[in-house]
A and B are shown apart, each in its own frame.
Chain A
């Protein structure tokens, strides 16, 4: 079945450093890859997404890259700040498969001041 593997499960960085979270997916027909941020006790919120016809997308300090051949996509956060501390989830889905947005297991990012 569909599966999304996410690494690392925890990540600790110093403020100002970069953070990278990696995901691999199993369904080669997947064509949509969002990233959600979940702060402690809060709901998941979309921070960036990428579609399979694009290799990279950037939004200020956040970027996502996609390698369709390797079925691999990554989240890059530059110049990290304490407020970036949260759990980040990658996910994958494909068009016309309804609600089957398959999430990775999550990465707990801690940014130390």
Chain B
């Protein structure tokens, strides 16, 4: 158990819909990262928050947004869903603000768009 909690574990929805994925980092970790893992794309970095502020942005689509709340949990919002958004979405956390240290991954949220 990494200490990072993600909900829901599985989610099935239709194209055009909107979903919210939630992540609670390890106790004491200030940074939250979101990654997308699909079969042909490996682990793609989406976005990072550090202590409530956006710290780094990767290949995140405009239809996707995220935020980190004062209690440090984070939510990833995916809207106008397309079939290609089906993937495993991982949240990870770390103590420090950059990735030159271990990232602790949650178990992931598997999104299926039909």
Contact = CB atoms under 8 A, between A and B. Distances in A.
A101 B45 contact: yes
Contacts of B56: 97-100
Contact of B100 (A43, A44, A93, A104): A93
Interface in A54-113: 89, 91, 93-106
Contacts, number: 70
B52 interface: no
Interface string B82-114: 000000001000000111111101111000000
A69 B108 CA distance: 36
Chain B interface: which size bin?
Answer: 20 to 34
B55 A95 contact: no
Please classify the interface of chain A as helix (H, G, I), strand (E, B), loop, or mixed, using the class held by over half of its residues.
Answer: loop
Given A31-B100, A32-B100, A93-B98, A99 B47 contact: yes
A93 to B, nearest CB: 4
Given A43-B107, A93-B100, A99 B42 contact: no
Nearest to A32: B100
Interface of A: 31-32, 34, 42-46, 49, 51, 89, 91, 93-106
